[in-house]
A and B are shown apart, each in its own frame.
Chain A
Amino acid sequence: MAGGQERILRRRIKSVQATRKITKAMELIAASQIARSQARIAANRPYRQGMQRIIREAASADPAAARKMLTTPDKVDAAIVLVIVGDRGLSGPYNSSALRAGDRLVHMLQHQGTSVRLFTVGKKAPAFFRFRGLEVEQSFTGFADRPTFADARRVASTLAAPFVAGEVQQVLLVSTRFVSAGSQVVESEQLLPLVMPSDMEVDTSVGLKGYTEFEPEVEQLLSELAPRALESEIFSALLEGAASFHTSQQRAMAAATDNADELGQTLSRIMNRARQDSITTEIMEIVGGAEALRSGK
Chain B
Amino acid sequence: MATLKVEIVTPEAALWTGDAAGLMARSSEGEFTILPQHTATVGDIVPGLVRVATSSGELAFCVHGGYFQVGADEEPGVTRATVLAGIAERVSEIDVARAQLAKETAEAQLTSTADLDEATRAQLLGSLARAELRLRVAAR
Q: Which residues of A contact B (CB under 8 A)?
A: 40, 43-44, 46-48, 50-51, 53-54, 57-58, 148-149, 152-153, 157-158, 205-216, 221, 224-225, 228, 231-232, 235
Residue of B at shortest CB range from A231?
A: B86
Which residues of chain A are within 8 angstroms of B82 by Cβ–Cβ distance? 46, 50, 53, 206
Q: Identify the 4 closest CB pairs spanning chains A and B, nearest first.
A: A207-B71, A206-B71, A212-B40, A215-B43
Which residues of chain A are within 8 angstroms of B37 by Cβ–Cβ distance? none
Question: Known pairs A46-B14, A207-B42, A212-B41. 19 more at Cβ < 8 A?
Answer: A43-B14, A46-B82, A50-B84, A54-B67, A149-B10, A206-B71, A206-B73, A207-B70, A207-B71, A207-B72, A209-B71, A211-B40, A212-B40, A213-B42, A215-B32, A215-B43, A216-B29, A221-B42, A221-B44
Contact between A206 and B39, CB atoms less than 8 A apart? no
Q: Identify which of A57, A205, A206 gathers the most chain B CB atoms within 10 Å of its CB.
A: A206
Q: Identify which of A51, A58, A215 gathers the most chain B CB atoms within 10 Å of its CB.
A: A215
On whether A50 and B9 interact (CB within 8 A), knowing A212-B41, A212-B42, the answer reads yes
Q: Smallest CB–CB gap between A138 and chain B, Å? A: 11
On whether A213 and B40 interact (CB within 8 A), knowing A43-B14, A153-B86, the answer reads yes
Contact between B84 and A43, CB atoms less than 8 A apart? no
CA gap between A209 and B71 in the complex, in Å: 9
Contact digits for B51-72, partner A, Cβ 8 Å, 1 yes 0 no: 0000000000000000101111
A-B contact pairs, 30 of them (CB 8 A): A43-B14, A44-B11, A46-B7, A46-B14, A47-B84, A48-B11, A50-B69, A50-B84, A54-B67, A54-B84, A57-B42, A148-B12, A149-B10, A157-B119, A157-B122, A158-B119, A205-B74, A206-B80, A207-B70, A207-B72, A209-B72, A212-B39, A212-B40, A213-B42, A215-B28, A215-B41, A216-B27, A221-B43, A228-B84, A235-B11
On whether A214 and B42 interact (CB within 8 A), knowing A152-B11, A205-B74, the answer reads yes
Q: Which residues of B contact A (CB under 8 A)?
A: 7, 9-14, 27-29, 32, 39-44, 67, 69-74, 80, 82, 84, 86-87, 119, 122
CA gap between A281 and B80 in the complex, in Å: 86
CA gap between A51 and B119 in the complex, in Å: 26
**Interface of chain A: mostly helix, strand, loop or mixed:** helix
Which residues of chain A are within 8 angstroms of B119 by Cβ–Cβ distance? 157-158
CA gap between A152 and B12 in the complex, in Å: 11
Q: Which of A40, A48, A206 contacts B69 (CB 8 A)?
A: A206
Q: Which of B9, B12, B44, B122 contacts A216 (CB 8 A)?
A: B44
Which residues of chain B are within 8 angstroms of A225 by Cβ–Cβ distance? 67
Which residues of chain B are within 8 angstroms of A57 by Cβ–Cβ distance? 42, 69
Which residues of chain A are within 8 angstroms of B67 by Cβ–Cβ distance? 51, 54, 225, 228
Q: Which of A58, A149, A214, A221 contacts B11 (CB 8 A)?
A: A149
Contact between A214 and B69, CB atoms less than 8 A apart? no
Contact between B40 and A210, CB atoms less than 8 A apart? yes
Which residues of chain A are within 8 angstroms of B7 by Cβ–Cβ distance? 46, 50
Q: Smallest CB–CB gap between A125 and chain B, Å? A: 21
Q: Smallest CB–CB gap between B70 and chain A, Å? A: 8
Which residues of chain B are within 8 angstroms of A210 by Cβ–Cβ distance? 40
Contact between B43 and A214, CB atoms less than 8 A apart? yes
